C-alpha cells in the first residue's frame, strides 16, 4: 500500500502498510509499539520465536539472519524493511533490498559494522576527529601499533563488539601478548586511549526527503562498559554534535534514526567514537520527554512520512535496568514521575538489559 509524494518521486507508505524489522530485541519491540500507534503493521524477522518484539508485532518470521532466501521472502511481504541492529550480513541486506526498500540503506550497515571502515569513513571522507587508530592482524602488527599510538590503548575486534565485549585495554608492554591472545584470530583495530571529560551522544533522524531532525545532546554514563544513565538535554551543547550527525546522515543518504557517540574533551572538543545505524539506547529518554520519540521518528522516516518534533518539553534522566535491577519494578511503579519500560525478557542474566526507566527532571 503506497502513495507517491507531491513530486511523485518517493514512496510514502500509508497507514495499514507493513514495515519489516530485521531483529526482534527490545529496539524492535519499541519500534513495533510505535508503529502500531501510527496504524502501521510490523513484521519481525528473528531467529528466536520468543523474542521481546514478538508480542508487540503484527507478524513474525523465524529465520537465521544469514538465510538469504528467507530474508528475501520476508522482505517481499513488507512495504519497506528496516533493522534494529547493525550486524545484518551484507548478503541478507542485499536480499532485503531486492524485496522492498531498505531504510536505512546497506551503506550505513557497511560503514558501521566494521570499526576500521567506520573510523576511516569518519576521518578521511568527513574530516571528523576520531581516536588515533591502526589496523591489527597479527601480534607483530599490534607491537608496531602500540609503538605508534602509545600507551594506554584499546585493542578491539573490528566486528561484532558491543557493550565493551571484544575489547581489551593495554596499559603496559606486558599486556600486549595477553590482549592479542584474547581477541585473535579476529581482525582487530588498535585505538589510542582517549582521556575524555565525558561521553555524549546525538540521536538524529533523516527523512526520505532529506529533512533532518536532531534531538538535543545527551550525556551518558557507563558502568562496566554498559550504558547506565543518559541525561538530556546535556549541559553545554554548542550544536556541533548535531552538525556532525547531519553531515554523516547526508553523506550516507541515510533514512531513519541514527545514534552517534562522542568522547568530549576538557577543551569541549568532540571525538566521534562510533555510529549506530538504528534507534539508540541513549535516545530512550525521548519516549517521555513530550516530543516525537525516537521509535516513532524512525517509523515515520522509514514510512516516508514527515519527521516529528524533536524538541523535548522537559529534561529526562533515563536509567537502564540491567539484570536483577528490573526486579524492583514494583517499587519503581510506586515512585511518582517515573515511566517504566520493561522488555518482556523471560530470562534475567547478569549484564542483560531488561528495561529502563525515564524520570522527568525539570519542566
Candidates 34, 136, 145, 154; binder of ligand AMP (CB under 6 A) is 154
- Give yes or no for residue 193 binding ligand AMP (CB under 6 A): yes
Using rule CB under 6 A, residue 191 touches ligand AMP: yes
**321 makes contact with ligand AMP (CB under 6 A):** no
Instruction: Give me the phi and psi of 223, to 5 degrees please.
Output: -125, 130
- Binding-site size for ligand AMP (CB under 6 A) equals 13
Is 131 a binder of ligand AMP (CB under 6 A)?
A: yes
Measured from the CB of residue 191, what is the shortest distance to ligand AMP in angstroms? 4
Please tell me whether residue 273 binds ligand AMP under the rule CB under 6 A. yes
User: Taking CB under 6 A as the rule, does residue 186 contact ligand AMP?
Assistant: no
The span of 35-43, 190-198, 201-209, 321-329 binding ligand AMP (CB under 6 A) equals: 190-198
Q: Is residue 147 a contact point for ligand AMP (CB under 6 A)? A: no
Establish if 281 lies at the interface with ligand AMP (CB under 6 A).
no
Q: Between 69 and 197, name the residue whose CB sits nearer to ligand AMP.
A: 197
Binding of residue 265 to ligand AMP (CB under 6 A) = no
277 near ligand AMP (CB under 6 A): no
Say whether residue 199 binds ligand AMP (CB under 6 A): yes
274 binds ligand AMP (CB under 6 A): yes
Closest contact distance (angstroms) between CB of 10 and ligand AMP is 33
Interface with ligand AMP, residue 161, by CB under 6 A:
yes
Binding site for ligand AMP (CB under 6 A): 131, 154, 161, 164, 191, 193-194, 199, 222, 225, 261, 273-274
Amino acid at each position: 500500500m503506497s502513495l507517491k509524494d507531491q513530486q511523485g518521486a518517493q514512496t510514502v507508505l500509508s497507514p495499514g502498510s507493513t514495515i519489516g524489522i530485521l531483529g526482534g530485541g527490545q529496539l524492535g519491540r519499541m519500534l513495533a509499539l510505535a508503529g502500531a500507534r501510527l496504524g502501521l503493521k510490523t513484521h519481525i524477522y528473528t531467529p528466536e520465536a520468543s523474542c521481546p518484539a514478538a508480542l508487540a508485532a503484527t507478524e513474525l518470521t523465524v529465520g537465521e539472519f544469514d538465510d538469504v532466501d528467507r530474508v528475501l521472502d520476508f522482505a517481499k511481504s513488507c512495504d519497506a524493511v528496516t533493522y534494529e541492529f547493525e550486524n545484518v550480513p551484507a548478503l541478507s541486506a542485499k536480499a532485503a533490498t531486492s524485496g522492498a526498500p531498505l531504510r536505512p540503506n546497506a551503506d550505513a550497515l557497511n560503514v558501521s559494522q566494521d570499526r576500521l571502515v567506520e573510523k576511516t569513513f569518519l576521518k578521511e571522507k568527513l574530516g571528523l576527529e576520531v581516536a588515533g587508530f591502526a589496523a591489527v592482524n597479527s601480534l607483530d602488527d599490534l607491537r608496531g601499533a602500540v609503538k605508534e599510538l602509545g600507551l594506554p590503548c584499546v585493542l578491539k575486534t573490528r566486528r561484532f563488539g558491543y557493550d565493551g565485549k571484544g575489547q581489551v585495554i593495554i596499559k603496559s608492554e606486558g599486556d600486549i601478548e595477553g590482549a592479542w591472545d584474547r581477541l585473535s584470530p579476529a581482525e582487530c583495530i588498535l585505538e589510542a586511549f582517549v582521556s575524555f571529560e565525558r561521553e555524549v551522544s546525538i540521536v538524529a533522524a533523516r527523512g526520505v526527503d532529506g529533512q533532518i531532525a536532531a534531538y538535543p545532546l545527551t550525556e551518558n554514563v557507563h558502568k562496566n562498559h554498559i550504558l547506565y544513565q543518559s541525561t538530556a538535554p546535556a549541559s553545554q551543547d554548542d550544536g556541533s554534535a548535531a552538525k556532525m550527525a547531519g553531515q554523516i546522515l547526508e553523506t550516507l543518504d541515510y533514512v531513519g534514526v541514527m545514534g552517534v557517540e562522542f568522547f568530549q574533551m576538557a577543551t569541549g572538543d568532540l571525538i566521534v567514537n562510533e555510529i549506530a545505524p538504528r534507534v539508540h539506547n541513549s535516545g530512550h529518554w525521548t519516549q517521555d520527554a513530550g516530543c516525537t520519540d525516537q521509535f516513532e521518528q524512525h517509523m515515520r522516516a522509514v514510512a516516508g512520512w514527515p519527521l516529528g518534533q524533536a524538541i523535548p518539553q522537559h529534561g529526562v534522566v533515563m536509567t537502564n535496568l540491567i539484570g536483577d535491577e528490573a526486579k524492583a519494578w514494583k517499587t519503581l511503579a510506586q515512585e511518582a514521575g517515573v515511566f517504566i519500560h520493561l522488555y518482556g525478557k523471560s530470562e534475567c542474566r547478569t549484564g542483560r538489559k531488561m528495561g529502563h526507566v525515564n524520570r522527568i527532571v525539570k519542566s
